[in-house]
Each structure stands twice: as structure tokens, then as C-alpha cells.
Amino acid sequence: MVMVRWVESEVAPDTIMETRYKNGTSDSGVDFKHRHCRWPCHNVYQGVGDYKDPDT
């Protein structure tokens, strides 16, 4: 819904959630999720915590 709100109301979200599936298919289940910042910010893994956890 955040993408619809962005397009229709021009309200950009702070982050967008990416979901990566095992074997590239949703039938195989979720491998991990990441939050992506809006430009010009970018995500940098600091080497602490589980890289597959969107809250680290």
C-alpha cells in the first residue's frame, strides 16, 4: 500500500521492504527481508546481528 500512496498522493515512504524468496519463488518460503532507505541514503551492514533480520 505504501507504493500506491506514494504514486497517488505523492507521499514517499521512509523505507520500502524487500522480500527475498528461497530459490526465487514464493512457494519455497521467505529467505530474508530488508528495508531499503529512500535516496540519497543507503543501507550498510555493520557486521553485527543477523543480516537477514530487517531490524539490524
Kindly state whether residue 43 falls inside one of the protein's structural domains: no
Kindly state whether residue 44 falls inside one of the protein's structural domains: no
Residue in the structure block whose three cell numbers are 531499503? 36
Count the domains in the chain: 1
Q: What CA–CA distances, in Å, run from 44 to 25, 28, 33, 35?
A: 26, 27, 14, 11
* Residue 47: predicted pLDDT: 86
pLDDT along the chain (56 residues), means of 10: 89 89 92 87 85 82
* Residue 3: predicted pLDDT: 86
47 phi and psi, to 5 degrees? Answer: 85, 10
Rounded to two decimals, the pTM is 0.62
Domain ranges, residue 30: 2-37
* Residue 39: predicted pLDDT: 80
Kindly state whether residue 10 falls inside one of the protein's structural domains: yes
Kindly state whether residue 45 falls inside one of the protein's structural domains: no
Kindly state whether residue 55 falls inside one of the protein's structural domains: no
